[in-house]
């Protein structure tokens, strides 16, 4: 919410007593050898078989390093950001 409010302004519209329906978005997270990968959908479309899929993703990779004496990568060392497009 902080990221969205910093990039653009938006207005919440109240529609009375109608129920609110929230659709799930295909946010992806993965742990690889020494990094954490996150994918945030920027554009979503409905699949013909049901459900949704993201056609444009914001990909974030946080590169981790190992501190001395610990065999697990824990310390953030860098970050890469990019876009992934599907058609």
Q: Where are the domains of the chain?
A: 25-85
pLDDT band at 67 (very low <50, low <70, confident <90, very high): confident
pTM assigned to the model: 0.58
Quick: pLDDT tens for 23-62: 666 788 888 878 899 998 888 888 888 888 888 999 999 9
Measured CA angle at 79 (ends 76, 85), to 5 deg: 140
CA distances from 35 to 4, 26, 65 (A): 25, 20, 8
pLDDT in the model for residue 10: 45
Secondary structure letter of residue 33 according to DSSP? T
């Amino acid at each position: 919410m902080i990221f969205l409010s910093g990039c653009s302004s938006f207005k919440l519209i109240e529609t009375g007593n109608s129920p609110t329906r929230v659709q799930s978005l295909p946010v992806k997270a993965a742990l690889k050898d020494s990094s954490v990968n996150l994918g945030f959908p920027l554009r979503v479309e409905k699949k013909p078989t049901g459900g949704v899929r993201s056609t444009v993703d914001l990909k974030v990779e946080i590169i981790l390093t190992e501190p001395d004496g610990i065999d697990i990568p824990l310390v953030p060392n860098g970050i890469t950001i990019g876009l992934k497009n599907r058609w």
